[in-house]
């Protein structure tokens, strides 16, 4: 089968021509010309989320042309292929079914002719029973005390998803203390081992493959520490759990079947928080809240699958992203969530997006001649305002950004939240509409009376505006709305992958670094060996050897 490259579609060519008409149009004019703009370019989802995409550099015509691109590239068919369990992760010959993990309505989904829903529900139920024991204090450690601390050891998707969600849902959390260890740097695991008590700590080793270097080294360090403290190997099985698809390695580690929570090859690491990888989320917020998270995601799944592309939120955000990435040539996307508990959100989305769509070979195995996935970055608002927003407002680069805020806070404290909201509304307004020379003059004249100085200062105080944003207002950050938000972005990434004509669900780009690290490790462990790398690497290693003691 020959897959169509986006640049060879009629819609792409139309968009390219149309770009010439739009590239210098200002958002000020677009809003002045059309009083209905907000109404046209905003959607309410499930009565809990408003997506306002009106502050984008596009007209009705642009919008229609972008939607045509998605139709021409058969997005409708591609969506169905994923939801029906076809092996769309072609290079690994796997289905892509994170949507099955939140299929609360239990509609059968088949992989290799077998309905996978019973196994999904089996593991879900196992997590329910287990988490109940731990949360209620009935699960005891080796000295008979209840569990107080959970340490999740994992990296990438086995860390970022559960860590981000646990933090985001802190208002729902119980008494258990959660710790996440990912970095190979021994400082990370050591810092946690210093503060936990072996008698009351559970270690969850989360790794799809159970071979990832960082996770296994950290897991064995935790195991050694636990052995030293407890003094008996038989206690390991009480305090260690595994979340993986690799039972053979799990068993070798010494973990019992009843502490093994399976997931499957059709769940990608960066899409896995809905699976048993979410066990630490459940332990933190309870099973019912986790089910709400799944329900929120399922609701977005249904919206994505069943809504016409013109009204389809993930599709619209994906196409707007493509408009900037592929026609304007803007390379990065900012993610600014005005909620302190969402401080890991940008990191999480960075992996999800950049590991999925950071590819340069199309589905036909050829080098692409168009831009693929954007660079994703961000920070919790308002911290960013006092760090890098200067560049957003007045720099030479344009960073299309998503601004996200819950309208109801979990921490009603004085007027904090209303102030946070005012900052949020002000930023997207300032970015879109800027401040003209005339506005500026008026202001400066009020402040200062020296006309010469006024003329000199004016250029520095000019805000050109025309910097696009999406605003996402969430009624309240709950497990349900978080689930919907995360699924929204997952489907945005999927849609962009379809348009880019790339395989979004493999990650071969991480392999070379891993292979070289293992080769260099054996070099580093030997004494007086002839170095045969490039001159830079050789000399870096020599410096290490000279300075290591």
Contact call for residue 270 and ligand F6P (CB under 6 A)? yes
Output DSSP code: residue 490. Answer: H
Q: Residues 6 or more apart from 525 whose CB is under 8 A from it?
A: none
Residue with smaller CB distance to ligand F6P, 188 or 270 = 270
Of the residues 10, 114, 476, 514, only one is catalytic, namely 514
Q: Report the alpha-carbon angle 365-368-374, nearest 5.
A: 120
**Strand pairing of 42-45 and 332-337?**
unpaired
Place of tokens 């780009």: 509
Q: What is the Cα–Cα distance from 275 to 96, expressed in whole angstroms?
A: 13
Helix, strand, coil % over all residues of the chain, rounded to 5: 55, 15, 30
Q: Where do we find the tokens 């998605």?
A: 70
Segment interacting with ligand F6P, rule: CB under 6 A, options 23-31, 155-163, 366-374, 498-506: 155-163
User: d(Cα 363, Cα 381) in Å, to the nearest integer?
Assistant: 38
Q: What is the x/- site pattern for ligand F6P, positions 299-338, by CB under 6 A?
A: ----------------------------------------
In the complex with ligand F6P, which residue's Cβ is closer, 155 or 196? 155
Decide: is 259 part of the binding site for ligand F6P (CB under 6 A). no
3-state secondary structure of 88: coil
Whole-number minimum distance, CB 276 to ligand F6P, in Å?
11
Residue pair 215/158 in contact by the 8 Å Cβ criterion: yes
208 scored as a contact of ligand F6P (CB under 6 A):
yes
Please report, for residues 109, 121, 136, 391, 535, the alpha-carbon distance to residue 538 in angstroms, rounded to integers and kept in the order given.
Answer: 53, 53, 56, 39, 5
Distance, CA of 246 to CA of 265 (rounded, Å): 10
**How many residues are recorded in the chain?**
549
Contact between residue 240 and residue 220 where contact means Cβ atoms under 8 Å apart: no
Of residues 156, 162, 384, 465, which one binds ligand F6P by CB under 6 A? 156
Identify which range of 35-43, 152-160, 227-235, 388-396 contacts ligand F6P by CB under 6 A: 152-160
Q: Which residues pair with 402 in a beta bridge?
A: 335, 470
The correct pick among 182, 207, 357, 481 for binding ligand F6P (CB under 6 A) is 207
Pick the closer one to ligand F6P by CB: 14 or 209: 209
- From 105, 234, 386, 548, active-site residue: 386
273: DSSP letter: T
Q: Could you tell me the smallest distance in angstroms from the CB atom of residue 249 to ligand F6P?
A: 10
Query: Does residue 437 interact with ligand F6P by CB under 6 A?
Result: no
218 CB-near residues (< 8 Å, 6+ apart): 153, 181, 182, 184, 188, 189
Compute the least distance from the CB of residue 355 to ligand F6P, in Å.
6
Q: Rounded to whole angstroms, what are the CA distances from 348 to 224, 243, 272, 376?
A: 30, 19, 12, 10
Query: CB of 51: closest distance to ligand F6P in angstroms?
Result: 28
Per the annotation, the verdict on 355 as an active-site residue is: yes
d(CA 307, CA 315): 10
- Per CB under 6 A, the list member of 269, 278, 374, 468 interacting with ligand F6P is 269
d(CA 488, CA 164): 16
Residue found by looking up tokens 């950049």 in the block: 354
Least separation in angstroms between residue 358's CB and ligand F6P is 12
CB of 222 vs ligand F6P, minimal distance in Å: 15
Helix (H, G, I), strand (E, B) or coil at 34: coil
Complex with ligand F6P: residue 85 or 156, whichever CB lies closer:
156
Phi, psi of 126, rounded to the nearest 5 degrees:
-65, -40
> Least distance to ligand F6P from the beta carbon of 181, Å?
13
* 19 vs 220, beta carbon nearer ligand F6P: 220
Token pair belonging to 376: 């994703």
In the complex, the smallest distance separating the C-beta of residue 345 from ligand F6P, rounded to whole angstroms, is 17
Considering only residues 58-117, where is the footprint of ligand F6P by CB under 6 A? none
d(CA 77, CA 374): 24
User: Which C-beta is closer to ligand F6P: that of 270 or that of 344?
Assistant: 270
| Residue nearer to ligand F6P on the CB measure, 155 or 477 | 155
Within 445-474, which residues bind ligand F6P (CB under 6 A)?
none
Which residue's structure tokens are 């329910």? 128
Catalytic residue among 355, 417, 491, 492: 355
C-alpha to C-alpha distance for 6 and 16, rounded to whole angstroms: 12
Does the annotation mark 65 as catalytic?
A: no
Q: Binding of ligand F6P at residue 209 (CB under 6 A)?
A: yes
Q: Which stretch binds ligand F6P (CB under 6 A): 120-128, 137-145, 207-215, 440-448?
A: 207-215
Sites for ligand F6P among residues 478-507 (CB under 6 A): 507
Stretch that binds ligand F6P, among 150-158, 182-190, 417-425, 533-541 (CB under 6 A): 150-158
Minimum CB distance to ligand F6P, residue 118 (Å): 24
Question: Quick one: which of 52, 78, 149, 355 contacts ligand F6P (CB under 6 A)?
Answer: 355
- Whether 397 is catalytic is no
- Where on the chain is the footprint of ligand F6P (CB under 6 A)? 155-158, 207-209, 212, 215, 269-270, 355, 507, 510
Query: Which residues are the active-site residues?
Result: 355, 386, 514
């Amino acid at each position: 089968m020959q897959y169509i490259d986006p640049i060879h579609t009629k819609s792409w060519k139309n968009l390219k021509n149309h770009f010439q008409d739009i590239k210098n149009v200002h958002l000020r004019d677009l809003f002045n010309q059309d009083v209905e703009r907000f109404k046209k370019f905003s959607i309410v989802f499930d009565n809990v989320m408003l997506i306002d995409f009106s502050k984008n550099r596009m007209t009705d015509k642009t919008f229609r042309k972008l939607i045509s691109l998605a139709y021409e590239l058969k997005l409708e068919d591609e969506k169905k292929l994923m939801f029906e369990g076809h092996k769309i992760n072609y290079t690994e010959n796997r289905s892509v079914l994170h949507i099955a993990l939140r299929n609360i309505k239990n509609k059968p989904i088949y992989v290799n002719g077998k309905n996978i829903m019973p196994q999904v529900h089996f593991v879900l139920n196992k997590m329910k029973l287990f988490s109940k024991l731990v949360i209620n204090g009935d699960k005891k450690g080796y000295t008979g005390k209840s569990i107080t601390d959970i340490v999740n050891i994992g990296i990438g998707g086995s860390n970022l998803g559960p860590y981000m969600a646990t933090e985001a849902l802190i208002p729902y959390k119980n008494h258990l203390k959660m710790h996440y260890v990912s970095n190979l740097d021994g400082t990370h695991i050591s810092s946690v081992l210093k503060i936990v008590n072996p008698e009351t700590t559970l270690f969850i080793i989360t790794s799809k493959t159970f071979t990832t270097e960082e996770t296994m080294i950290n897991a064995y360090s935790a195991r050694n520490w636990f052995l030293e403290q407890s003094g008996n190997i038989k206690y390991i099985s009480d305090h260690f759990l595994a979340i993986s698809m690799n039972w053979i390695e799990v068993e070798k580690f010494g973990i019992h079947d009843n502490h093994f929570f399976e997931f499957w090859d059709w769940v990608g690491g960066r899409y896995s928080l809905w699976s048993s990888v979410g066990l630490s989320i459940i332990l933190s917020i309870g099973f019912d809240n986790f089910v709400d998270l799944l329900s929120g995601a399922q609701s977005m799944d249904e919206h994505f699958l069943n809504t016409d592309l013109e009204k389809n939120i993930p599709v619209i955000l994906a196409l707007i992203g493509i408009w900037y990435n592929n026609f304007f040539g803007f390379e990065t996307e900012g993610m600014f969530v005005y909620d302190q508990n969402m401080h890991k959100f940008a990191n999480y989305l960075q992996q999800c997006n950049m590991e999925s769509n950071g590819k340069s070979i199309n589905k036909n195995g050829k080098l692409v001649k168009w831009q693929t996935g954007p660079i994703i970055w961000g920070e919790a608002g308002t911290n960013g305002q006092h760090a890098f927003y200067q560049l957003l407002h007045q720099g030479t680069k344009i960073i299309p950004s998503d601004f996200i805020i819950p309208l109801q806070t979990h921490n009603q404290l004085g007027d904090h939240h209303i102030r946070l909201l005012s900052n949020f509304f002000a930023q997207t307004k300032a970015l879109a509409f800027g401040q003209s020379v005339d506005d500026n003059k008026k202001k400066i004249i009020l402040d200062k009376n020296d006309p010469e100085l006024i003329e000199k200062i004016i250029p520095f105080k000019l805000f050109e505006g025309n910097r696009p944003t999406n605003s996402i207002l969430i009624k309240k950050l709950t497990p349900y709305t978080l689930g919907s938000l995360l699924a929204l972005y997952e489907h945005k990434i999927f849609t962009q992958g379809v348009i880019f004509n790339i395989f979004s669900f493999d990650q071969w780009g991480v392999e070379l670094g891993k292979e070289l690290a293992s080769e260099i490790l054996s070099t580093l462990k030997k004494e007086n060996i002839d170095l045969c790398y490039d001159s830079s690497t050789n000399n870096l290693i020599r410096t290490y050897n000279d300075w290591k003691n």
